[in-house]
Amino acid sequence: MASYDVIVIGAGPGGYVAAIRCAQLGLKTAVVEGRETLGGTCLNVGCIPSKALLHATHQLHEAEHNFATMGLKGKAPSVDWPTMQDYKQSVVDSNTGGIEFLFKKNKIDWLKGWGSIPEAGKVKVGDEVHEAKNIIVASGSEPSSLPGIEIDEKIVVSSTGALSLPKIPKKMIVVGAGVIGLEMGSVYARLGTEVTVVEFLDHITPGMDKEVQRTLQKLLKKQGMEFILNAAVQSVETTKTKAKLTYKSRKDDSETQLDADVVLIATGRKAYTDGLGLSDLGVEMTDRGQVKTDGHWATNVKGVYAIGDAIVGPMLAHKAEDEGMAVAEVIAGKHGHVNYDVIPGVIYTHPEVASVGKTEEQLRDEGRAYKAGKFSFMGNARAKAIFAGDGFVKILADKETDRILGAHIVGPAAGDLIHEICVAMEFGASAQDLALTCHAHPTYSEAVREAALACGDGPIHM
């Protein structure tokens, strides 16, 4: 029986980061992981492979639509789907192999198999039981489906199946207009698939700024994606090669059927805690099946902690990473902290979408006086040079103090630009602080400065 200071269950972004930080802080650490490779859903069948396909298909889009305008003449490239899949897998292999290297470098033991907690202070992996002073549950999440709809990963697929379809479908229905649905829908739309997104609500990207929702939907529609909103999916029937989806309009109760080669169920994710033995252990859970924790990521069972998708909060890899570092600090006797008010969200469509902090709708509901500074990428020289003038930067600041309360970006490199604002918010900066900071020209980041200027006397280039 091996004994450790910390055993982490799950090697996704939360788990592996927690393990590395624990090891750096001098704690003897092991990680339980049953996959053949480390990195969890994110690196194996989530964030990383989807970004590889988004990148590859964006290059195809550029070749088909913009190369000739730039003087790059020639036949548009054809798609070799098996080779694109190989490229995607090579990106995955490089990243998961990198985590394995970091485990060896930090002397972290990989306990291969699926773990359970038979009692406090013990973790069972296969037939072996290991002792641990502290246990971190970082078991992640799995795709959630709709009642009565079976995911076979052939005709009706989750995001996992959508990443590795044997061929490019002619018609695809995406159920759910959230991050996963829009990203994977974008991939296949660029590949020539007729993509229809069916969404229960009357808007896409639930929870995001309404102006962002409207702008992104309009831009994706221009790219060929169709949207059916206010639609409640009733059933999905399949044959060997086709699917028939029935939905009911939430406006007039009329029923409509759609045919497709593939139906992607992208209706969110749910915490994955099956088989861990948490209920027998007496660990308190939420009504939604997530692990209850206190402000230090501790459960009600002494020595058992939980982070990431297994607990309450946005199911984001970087949120899990922050919690992984923080819980390691707590276990090591230091002060771990996560600022949940400054966790950015990104959608990697084209253009990208990024947000942090409050939306205008939230501020109005709170009755908080605010001002909005907005700048269009059409006024940004760098964006116009690369056919990326669609979208905007919007900064929300307190009306009296000018302190930044939130920001929303639709445009080129939005997922990178948002972090300037995240850092500003961490330091309690005002919009004027950003406006008075010199930004290199020509860069996309100038649009952020201009939006900050718009919170004051007004932008320069609009």
Q: For residue range 380-394, what is the model confidence (pLDDT) as tens digits?
A: 999 999 999 999 999
Encode the chain in three state secondary structure: CCEEEEEEECCCHHHHHHHHHHHHCCCCEEEEECCCCCCHHHHHHCHHHHHHHHHHHHHHHHHHHCCHHHCCCCCCCCCCHHHHHHHHHHHHHHHHHHHHHHHHHCCCEEEECCEEEEECCEEEECCEEEEEEEEEECCCEEECCCCCCCCCCCCEECHHHHCCCCCCCCEEEEECCCHHHHHHHHHHHHCCCEEEEECCCCCCCCCCCHHHHHHHHHHHHHCCCEEECCEEEEEEEECCCCEEEEEEECCCCCEEEEEECEEEECCCEEECCCCCCHHHHCCCECCCCCECCCCCCECCCCCEEECHHHECCCCCHHHHHHHHHHHHHHHCCCCCCCCCCCCCEEECCCCEEEEEECCHHHHHHHCCCEEEEEEEHHHCHHHHHCCCCCCEEEEEEECCCCEEEEEEEEECCHHHHHHHHHHHHHCCCEHHHHHCCCCCCCCCCHHHHHHHHHCCCCCCCC
| Residues annotated as part of the active site | 441
For residue 1, pLDDT beyond 80: no
- Residue 54 in tokens: 């988004």
For residues 354-377, give the mean pLDDT. Answer: 98
Q: For residue range 164-195, what is the model confidence (pLDDT) as tens digits?
A: 999 999 999 999 999 999 999 999 999 999 99
* Annotated binding-site ranges: 51, 115, 176-183, 199, 268, 309, 315-318
- Answer left, alpha or beta for residue 313, where phi above 0 means left and psi between -120 and 50 means alpha: left
- Residue 330 in tokens: 């707590």
Q: What is the per-residue pLDDT for 76?
A: 87
Q: What is the per-residue pLDDT for 430?
A: 98
For residues 404-418, give the mean pLDDT. Answer: 98
Core vs surface per residue 364-374: b (16+ CB within 10 A) or e: eeeeeebbbbb
Give the phi and the psi of residue 123 in degrees, each rounded to 5. Answer: -130, 125
Q: Note whether 283 and 291 are within 8 A (CB).
A: yes
In the chain, what is the greatest distance between 2 CA atoms, to the nearest angstrom? 68
The reply to whether 156-267 and 345-454 are identical in fold is no
CB atoms near residue 3 (< 10 Å): 12
Q: For residue range 195-211, what is the model confidence (pLDDT) as tens digits?
A: 999 999 999 999 999 99
Q: For residue range 87-137, what is the model confidence (pLDDT) as tens digits?
A: 999 999 999 999 999 999 999 999 999 999 999 999 999 999 999 999 999
Q: What is the per-residue pLDDT for 120?
A: 95
**Per CATH, which fold does 156-267 belong to?**
FAD/NAD(P)-binding domain (3.50.50)
- Is CATH 3.30.390.30 what the domain over 345-454 is classified as, yes or no? yes
- Is CATH 3.50.50.60 what the domain over 3-143+270-331 is classified as, yes or no? yes
Rounded to an integer, what distance in angstroms lies between the CA atom of residue 237 and that of residue 392?
A: 41
**Burial (0-12, 13-18, 19+ Cβ within 10 Å), 410:** buried
For residues 333-340, give the mean pLDDT. Answer: 97
Q: What is the per-residue pLDDT for 380?
A: 98
Q: For residue range 425-434, what is the model confidence (pLDDT) as tens digits?
A: 999 999 999 9
Q: Residue 263 — very low, low, confident or very high, per pLDDT cuts 50/70/90?
A: very high
Q: Residue 2 — very low, low, confident or very high, per pLDDT cuts 50/70/90?
A: confident
For residues 439-461, give the mean pLDDT. Answer: 98
Q: For residue range 346-364, what is the model confidence (pLDDT) as tens digits?
A: 999 999 999 999 999 999 9
Share of the chain above pLDDT 70, in %: 100
* Annotated binding-site ranges for NAD(+): 176-183, 199, 268
Q: Residue 8 — very low, low, confident or very high, per pLDDT cuts 50/70/90?
A: very high
Q: Note whether 443 and 382 are within 8 A (CB).
A: yes
- Residue 81 in tokens: 């789907």
For residue 18, pLDDT beyond 80: yes
Match 């999905």 to its residue by tokens.
236
Q: What is the per-residue pLDDT for 432?
A: 98
Q: What is the dihedral of CA 226, 231, 232, 233, to 10 degrees?
A: -30
Match 């707590």 to its residue by tokens.
330
Q: Is the dihedral of CA 286, 289, 295, 301 positive or negative?
A: positive
The domain ranges of the chain are 3-143+270-331, 156-267, 345-454
Mutual angle of helices 47-65 and 81-105, in 10-degree steps = 140
CB atoms near residue 88 (< 10 Å): 20
- Average pLDDT of the chain is 97
